[in-house]
Structure 1
Amino acid sequence: MTETKEAFVALVTCFNDDETINYEATRAQVRRQVAAGNNIMCAGTNGDFSALTFDEKVKLCGEMVEEVGGCAKVIVNAGMPATYETVLLAREFDRIGVDGIAVITPFFIACTQDGLIRHFTTVADAVDTPIYLYDIPARTQNHIEPETARTLAAHGNIAGIKDSGGAQETLEAYMAVGREMENFDVYSGPDHLVQWSLTNGAKGCISGLGNVLPDVLAEIIAGVNAGNEERATAAQKIYADFRTDLYKLGYPPALVKRALYLRDPSVGASRQPALLPDPEQDQQIDAILKKYDR
């Protein structure tokens, strides 16, 4: 695993009042992250990927790549329940030209480890763009075991894994695979483990909370890369404390989107049947934002 660390923000997808995608508002969020020094993950969990159509994902990816203009990296999530549709999406993203294609584990369909190996291998065989495994068992009910990750790491076009499971033990096991297997990078998803993961061998992080605190996330990365533990620790404390305060109110992606909305209504609400805005909760979120001078 290489030494220079990097951060990706799992960017929100902005919607108009009629639930169509607001591409210009989404582009504005891209510019905000690039200005802070962060890279972009498109159509991830925080981007409401499960509520987007095939064509919308393709257009959204193209708009983000165009907006970035080579000034940052773009990874896009192609994962769907069926291998067939995942391959179709991955080929479209391969054509557009991205830095990596993340593939979330299939959801709704229960998979064996052998099934996961066949799924990821088929996708990796179908494109030239590097593939990143994406493990988030709480949402998909399918988990990539560390030994399965090790098997897949031997594939020439599987470049790493994003771990959003939240268990430090599993992240450690993935990082052990990264140390043993050449050209297999590990990206941490849990916001409270950013600094820990980077200083213990992860290549980077892919964070949802970075939508709200892009500058703090970038500060953690800068501190780690500069070898300045005090700087990184101070930024990580802000990040972790904000996470604790915000996420105790409910489902993290919805809270991230709502916190953004309270400061920039152009991001819009999520598509239904997501939870409707709650005035009492909005007051609590607003108080948290003010507490951290946002």
Structure 2
Amino acid sequence: MTCETFVALVTCFDDKEAIDYAATRAQVRRQVEAGNNIMCAGTNGDFTALTFEEKVRLTEEVVDEVGGKARVIVNAGMPATYETVLLAREFDRIGVDGVAVITPFFIECTQDGLVRHFSTVADAITTPVYLYDIPARTQNHIEPDTARALARHGNIAGIKDSGGAQATLEAYLAVSKEAEGFDVYSGPDSLVLWAFQNGAKGCISGLGNVMPKVLADICAGFNDGDLAKAEAAQATFTAFRTDLYKLGYPPALVKRSLYLMDKSVGASRQPALPPSPEQDAKIAALLAAHGLA
């Protein structure tokens, strides 16, 4: 099986917190040139801070910029099934390669409720749907047996696991071995190569915003049978991740790292905590130590 990488693309903002579509397109080009596919409107794309209309236009701009040179997945997940379906239908109309659906947040769900939620979205569109599990942020978790039940739906094509627990990833991988056409995408950046080696179809990475070529090299090395190349790239990726994520909330740190490399990406929308000179100095030192400055 040939594996693939997606980057959970940052959404760029100007100094008035409006989306900078030109700067976002530049980030798309940077990733495609490195060899990565795109996931937009995800956790690293500040999706919770975007309006319905912005998500639609953002997807249109990303798809147009990609121009068929890479695959595009977009996150449609919202707390209510109703709005999730409305967004998914817009993305279906635009023409993406997959619609990711994050577990509902704020609303506490039963496993049966999750089955109904995801099935309703998958019934409403023709684009393949990917489950998106990130319980630390949503407080709802897709149990492996629930993933197994949803894998039987004809339009649910896989799952993105951002839980961070290797045991859960292993359980989802077991489901993928049982259910033909159900692919697993790893979220934790420290497990990219491990996931490839254990049957994952790919990864969806936030850290790839900062190190796009390193991420692509993990995949290229694995696909080419060059394990030394893949292991070296994974070691580089993991080392920077370990140092950076000690400083706080990973998506904010990824965005700020990229900002210090390229001011055009802007800051995150409020009420995200504003960056401090002290934090910027620590991030800048890490960038320099890892050869990224």
For normalisation by structure 1, the TM-score amounts to 0.99
Q: For residue 87 of structure 1, what is the aligned residue in structure 2?
A: 85
Q: Which whole-Å CA distance do the structure 2 matches of 1:159 and 1:292 have between them?
A: 37
Q: For residue 76 of structure 2, what is the aligned residue in structure 1?
A: 78
Q: For residue 214 of structure 1, what is the aligned residue in structure 2?
A: 212
Q: Which whole-Å CA distance do the structure 2 matches of 1:197 and 1:281 have between them?
A: 32
Q: For residue 55 of structure 1, what is the aligned residue in structure 2?
A: 53
Describe the SS at the equivalent of 1:71: coil
Question: Displacement of 1:28 after TM fit?
Answer: 0.2
Q: Which whole-Å CA distance do the structure 1 matches of 2:168 and 2:145 have between them?
A: 11
Report % sequence identity: 76
Q: For residue 224 of structure 1, what is the aligned residue in structure 2?
A: 222
Question: Displacement of 1:224 after TM fit?
Answer: 0.6
Q: For residue 6 of structure 2, what is the aligned residue in structure 1?
A: 8
Describe the SS at the equivalent of 1:33: helix
Q: Deviations for 1:177-206, whole angstroms, at most 9, x for unmatched residues?
A: 000001000000000000000000000000
Asked if 1:169 corresponds to 2:162, the answer is no
Q: Counterpart amino acid of 2:250?
A: P
Describe the SS at the equivalent of 1:240: helix
Describe the SS at the equivalent of 2:204: strand
Question: Displacement of 1:293 after TM fit?
Answer: 1.0
Q: Which moved more, 1:92-101 or 1:276-285?
A: 276-285
Question: Displacement of 1:74 after TM fit?
Answer: 0.2
Q: Deviations for 1:2-22, whole angstroms, at most 9, x for unmatched residues?
A: x00000000000001110000
Q: For residue 286 of structure 1, what is the aligned residue in structure 2?
A: 284
Q: Which whole-Å CA distance do the structure 1 matches of 2:71 and 2:116 have between them?
A: 28
Question: Displacement of 1:292 after TM fit?
Answer: 1.3
Q: For residue 21 of structure 2, what is the aligned residue in structure 1?
A: 23
Q: Counterpart amino acid of 2:111?
A: Q
- Out of 138, 142, 145, the position equivalent to 1:144 is 142
Q: Counterpart amino acid of 1:30?
A: V
Question: Displacement of 1:159 after TM fit?
Answer: 0.1
Aligned length: 292
* Structure 1 residue ranges, 4+ long, deviating more than 2 angstroms after superposition: none
Q: Which whole-Å CA distance do the structure 2 matches of 1:231 and 1:270 have between them?
A: 34
Q: For residue 132 of structure 1, what is the aligned residue in structure 2?
A: 130
Describe the SS at the equivalent of 1:227: coil
Q: For residue 198 of structure 1, what is the aligned residue in structure 2?
A: 196
Within-5 A mapping of 1:151-166: 151-166=149-164
Question: Displacement of 1:286 after TM fit?
Answer: 0.5
Q: For residue 264 of structure 1, what is the aligned residue in structure 2?
A: 262
Asked if 1:68 corresponds to 2:44, the answer is no
Question: Displacement of 1:227 after TM fit?
Answer: 1.2
- The answer for unaligned runs of 5 or more in structure 2 is none
Q: Counterpart amino acid of 1:132?
A: Y
Question: Displacement of 1:277 after TM fit?
Answer: 1.2
Question: Displacement of 1:229 after TM fit?
Answer: 1.2
